[in-house]
A and B are shown apart, each in its own frame.
Chain A
Amino acid sequence: MNSPILEVKGISKTFGSIKALDSVDFYLQKGIVHGLLGENGAGKSSLMNVLSGIYIPESGSIKINNQKIEKMSPDIAASFGIGMVHQEFRLIESFTIKDNLTLSKASIFNDNFKDAYDKYSEIFALSSNYLTPVNELSVGEKQKVEIMKLIFKNSQIMLLDEPTAVLTPQETLQLKGSLEKLSQEDEKTIVLITHKLKEIKDFTERIFVMKNGKMVADNLETRKVNDKDLIELMMGEIKQSSFKKNNKKGAIKLEAKDISLKNSEQLLVLDNISLSVKAGEILGVAGVSGNGQVELANVICGIEKEFEGKVLINSKDVSKKGVKSRKKLNLSYIPENRLGVGLAPGVSVLDNSAIKEYFKASYGPHLSRGKMMTYLNDLIKQFSIKAPDVKAEISTLSGGNMQKLLMGRELISNPEVIVAAQPTRGLDVSAVEAIHKLIIDQRDKGSAVLLISEDLDELFKLSDRLIVLYEGKAIKEIDADLATIDTVGLAMAGIDE
């Protein structure tokens, strides 16, 4: 085998107390498509940011074409031919395609732009004229321009962070063809970062797998590995549940029937989903983020109104009802995005504590501060929240305490139905344990819980049943006792056996 075009050894990078990269080795062969697989937070993006000079690692070495690079910076990375496409586009929307492509000072096709554009727009099947402003393009077309930008600034190593997340299946297939051509004809070295198993198998020749900041498998030959091995590498082992599951279940409290939803781009983000949750039951919703979880929660809670299908709470059809009337039926929603959705930034702890039931503290147009204070003091006591000053902004609370305030606010009224999305994301171990206990307690009090999570440990530990969302479809439903890491993991990757 030839010597690698890029070789990285022992890279470490920490953020606060979190080790984002833990002595990572990584190498790339010229002219082939590599896959970098891992869950969210495994360190994929951090590694790519180190390669493109955005993060400065604490230790480790980077060699490109056998030349050691002492100090990395975005400029130096670019001069060595490393280019990256970020998940959020870095295009100037009001500029034309041509201006965006030739913006870089490293631009190589300034003299023969038209020929180059003809060649590469054909490879990418981009039919737009190069004088079209970028803001008139669809998301998929913008993606193409974003990748072409790397070619036009002569990047030899192209790092693509989740490029397919915004694409339709047809566009994904097209991208595969384009990348193959680039690697074969132009000898570009490509890294595809993804957590979608199917794509990594389709697109790449070599696979690297990361977990918890470590490289757990390197340079696997794509043809020779099987899905199960990859899943196990990616997900690790599942701890045994410490909670009893022989809970008593009651009548059906929450039912969703044939839910379909299109986003603003007219793509189907929820595809005919049906589910039901009984009193005293936790239904886990597994899936890689972005497969319809947020939309499903929003439909159930009344935030998303333009959907097809029916939502029933306690057998009552609430499909046409708004957020408030669903809350009055005692539905609680713990949203994935704590600060920004669940809690309003810049607003006091006191005001934030009343968001669910502030109308209960009102007499006509008057809002009783006394009642709000009593309610908040109950919350603080019952959920042991540390709030130094309740009139100060919500951001004065720590992450764990914010989540406790949010959970407490949604749980104190003993809700009939709870929708909890990623309730423990970003929390430390003790806070996670406390939140899990709250959910189990609430289950035992007879709430129907819909638990949306990306953390399989959490889902296996808490849920009675599991459904798996993939591209807006509930592709699998299974009893938690019967579920294994393989079946759920494969379903999360879109493979239903």
Chain B
Amino acid sequence: MNKYILSKKLFRNELATFYSFLIGFIIALVVGSLILLIQDKNPIDVFSLMLKLSIGSINSLSNSLNKAIPLILAGLGISIINSVKLWNIGAEGQIFMGALALNFVYINTSFSNSNIYIVLLLASGFLGGAVCILLPALSKVLFGVNEIITTLLTNYIVFGITIYLINGAWKDPASLNFPAAAYVSESVYLPVIIGKLSSGFLICILFTLIAYYIKDKSVFGYEMRIAGGSELTAVYAGISAKQKAFFAMLIGGGFAGLAGAIELLSQTHRVSTGISQGFGYTAIIVAAITGMRPIGIFLVGCLFGALTIGGSVIQTIGVSSYIAEIIQATTLFGALVAQFFFSYEIIKKSEND
């Protein structure tokens, strides 16, 4: 009697991740179209409007890319942490913590040269993100506590701290009861390059290259790969798997913290609950779709930024902006299923084997 079993393919197509993404995206568009049809909207009209309003002009394109910045940076952080096969679900909290740390430094210091001050503030955002993941990182390496749970929980803690601060100590009296901290001075705004595109996008490109270098070209990245492959092999090779996990988490948290800092200095200009609109969660989708590859995260991040902008503008014609989120989530779902079929094959097996 023959049985059919799933067997892992030994050799994967190099472009499997890319094809999986395409398949997932097409499935997502189909699903999105069906939902629009149910609502008596013509999908082609809606999608072309989304396209036009998200990348049709310099302004709309720069809006899209600005939205991509936090997705990309947080996604890169997640991918670095995943090098040691750990999952960071706490990018959302780290983004907020980056903004909080920036504001803390901003309130307590002053600096005459605004360029240097901006760099200092961005660095404090990075550190804030790293501090935010410190507790999950320590409990992971010292006690083996599951990092998925702890990083997720820190999101709620940091969000609570944010609410507390913007309703209390940091509350801006001029904000007319709207809970938010005071605006930062215009001198530390991130300059705009072209249209509305923030120079944060250049930082984003730089950090994409840095993440790529760390993961693929550095000794640290190599040691992370070995530690992620097998902790016993790492010990055998004289690599401290725990140390790699610890630093990978701090660096990854820092990337997300930087995202929060850039968001503050280029978009919101103050601490409020609007620092992130779920970027830290969407970043998980971005990172997972691309198989944790930095360049892929950059590209998909840009696409998802455009989708978010496109989704928000179609509200004007009476379509819910959630259509964009449905497309993003369905893309991940479709891509993961497609990746499965690229990684496994169904083979026939006789029972006596």
A interface residue numbers (CB < 8 A to B): 16, 58, 301-303, 322-324, 327, 333, 335, 337, 340-347, 351, 354-356, 358-359, 362, 365-367, 369, 388-389, 392-393, 395-396
Chain B residues close to A by CB (< 8 Å): 10-12, 217-222, 225-226, 228-230, 232-238, 352-353
Residue of A nearest to B234 (CB): A344
A392 touches B11 (CB 8 A): yes
Tell me if A396 and B10 are in contact (CB < 8 A).
yes
3 pairs of A and B residues whose beta carbons are closest in the complex: A344-B229, A323-B238, A324-B238
Q: Which residues of B contact A343 (CB under 8 A)?
A: 233
A333, A340, A358, A369: the one contacting B230 at CB < 8 Å is A340
Whether the pair A366, B218 counts as a contact (CB closer than 8 A) is yes
Contact B226 A344 (CB under 8 A): yes
Task: Return A364 CB to nearest CB of chain B, in Å.
Answer: 8
A75, B226: Cα distance in complex, Å: 43
- Contact (A346, B238) CB under 8 Å given A362-B219, A367-B221, A392-B11: no
19 contacts between A and B (CB under 8 A): A16-B353, A58-B352, A322-B238, A333-B236, A342-B236, A344-B225, A345-B229, A347-B225, A347-B226, A351-B222, A351-B225, A351-B229, A366-B218, A367-B217, A367-B221, A388-B11, A392-B10, A392-B11, A395-B10
B85's nearest neighbour on chain A, judged by CB, is: A346
Closest-CB distance, B117 to chain A (whole angstroms): 29
Q: Is the CB of A340 within 8 A of B232?
A: yes
Question: For residue B222, which residue of chain A has the nearest CB?
Answer: A367
Contact A344 B222 (CB under 8 A): no
Inter-chain CB contacts under 8 Å: number: 78
B238 touches A365 (CB 8 A): no
Contacts of B225 in A (CB 8 A): 344, 347, 351
Partner of B237, one of A16, A356, A362, A396: A356
Establish whether residues A344 and B230, one from each chain, have CB atoms under 8 Å apart when the complex forms: yes
B139 CB → nearest A CB, Å: 21
The distance from the CB of B1 to the nearest CB of chain A, in whole angstroms, is 12
Tell me the complex Cα distance, A388–B12, Å: 13
Tell which of A344, A354, A355, A392 has the most Cβ of chain B within 10 Å: A344
Main secondary structure of the interface of A (DSSP, over half): loop
Q: Are B233 and A340 in contact (CB under 8 A)?
A: yes
Note all chain A residues with C-beta closer than 8 A to B228.
346-347
Docked complex Cα distance between A119 and B176 (Å) = 79
**In whole angstroms, how far apart are the Cα atoms of A104 and B292 in the complex?**
46
The residue in chain A whose Cβ has the minimal distance to the Cβ of B240 is A322
Which chain A residues border B230 with CB–CB below 8 Å? 340-341, 344-347
Docked complex Cα distance between A344 and B238 (Å): 13
Q: Report the separation of the CA atoms of residues A318 and B261 in the bound assembly, to the nearest whole angstrom.
A: 48
Most buried by A among B217, B220, B236: B236
Chain A residues with Cβ under 8 A from B11's Cβ? 388-389, 392, 396
Q: Is the CB of A302 within 8 A of B218?
A: no
Smallest CB gap from A389: residue in B: B11
B234 contact set on A, CB distance < 8 A: 344
CA–CA, A50 and B75, complex, Å = 51
Q: Are A351 and B219 in contact (CB under 8 A)?
A: no
Closest-CB distance, A221 to chain B (whole angstroms): 38
Besides A340-B232, A342-B236, A367-B217, 4 new A-B residue pairs in contact (Cβ under 8 A), listed by A number: A347-B229, A365-B220, A366-B218, A396-B10
A134 to B11: give the CA distance in the assembly, Å.
44
Distance in angstroms from A248 CB to nearest chain B CB is 32
Q: Which residues of A contact B12 (CB under 8 A)?
A: 392
**Chain A: minimal CB distance from B36 (Å):** 41
A367/B352 in contact, CB under 8 A: no
Alpha-carbon distance between A389 and B235 when the two chains are bound, in angstroms: 26
**Chain B positions within 8 Å of A335 at CB level:** 236
Query: Of A16, A347, A366, which contacts B219 at CB under 8 A?
Result: A366
If A58-B352, A365-B218, A366-B217 touch, does A303 touch B233 (CB 8 Å cutoff)?
no
Chain B nearest Cβ from A413, distance in angstroms: 15
Residues of B within 8 A of A342 (CB): 233, 236
A488 to B352 Cα, complex, angstroms: 39
Minimum distance in angstroms from B223 CB to a CB of chain A: 8
The answer to whether B232 touches A337 (Cβ under 8 A) is yes
Q: Is the CB of B235 within 8 A of A323?
A: yes
Assembled-state Cα–Cα distance A362/B217 (Å): 10
A344-B233 CB under 8 A given contacts A16-B353, A324-B238, A395-B10: yes
For A351, the chain B residues whose CB sits under 8 A away are: 222, 225-226, 229
**Complex formed: what's the CA distance from A58 to B353 in Å?**
11
A contact residues around B219 at 8 Å (CB)? 358-359, 362, 365-367
A354: chain B residues within 8 A (beta carbon): 222
Q: Could you say which residues of chain B place their CB within 8 Å of the CB of A302? A: 238
Q: Which residue of B lies closest to A394 (CB)?
A: B229
Question: In whole Å, how far is A337's beta carbon from the nearest beta carbon of chain B?
Answer: 7
Q: Chain A contacts of B238 at CB under 8 A?
A: 302, 322-324, 327
How far, in angstroms, from A393 to B225 measured CA to CA in the complex? Answer: 12
Q: CA A324 – CA B226 in complex, angstroms?
A: 15
Q: Which residues of B contact A324 (CB under 8 A)?
A: 238
For B353, the chain A residues whose CB sits under 8 A away are 16
CA distance A369 to B228 in the complex (A): 19
CB distance from A327 to the nearest CB of B (A): 6
When C-beta atoms are compared, the residue in chain A nearest to B236 turns out to be A341
A303 CA / B226 CA spacing, docked (Å): 16
State A322–B238 Cα separation when bound (angstroms).
7
A75 CB, min distance to chain B CBs, angstroms: 19
- With beta carbons under 8 angstroms apart, the residue of A355, A366, A395 that contacts B226 is A355
Query: Chain A's nearest CB lies how many Å from the CB of B144?
Result: 15
* A355–B218 alpha-carbon span in the complex (Å): 14
By beta carbon, the residue of chain B nearest A354 is B222
- Closest Cβ of chain A: how far from B347's Cβ, in Å? 15
Query: Contact: A341 with B233, CB < 8 Å?
Result: yes
Do B236 and A323 touch across chains, with their CB atoms under 8 A apart?
yes
Instruction: Given A58-B352, A392-B11, answer yes or no on A303-B236 (Cβ-Cβ < 8 Å).
Output: yes
* Assembled-state Cα–Cα distance A200/B230 (Å): 38
A367-B10 CB under 8 A given contacts A327-B238, A345-B230, A356-B237? no
Closest Cβ of chain A: how far from B16's Cβ, in Å? 12
Q: How far is the CA of A58 from the CA of B351 in the complex (A)?
A: 11
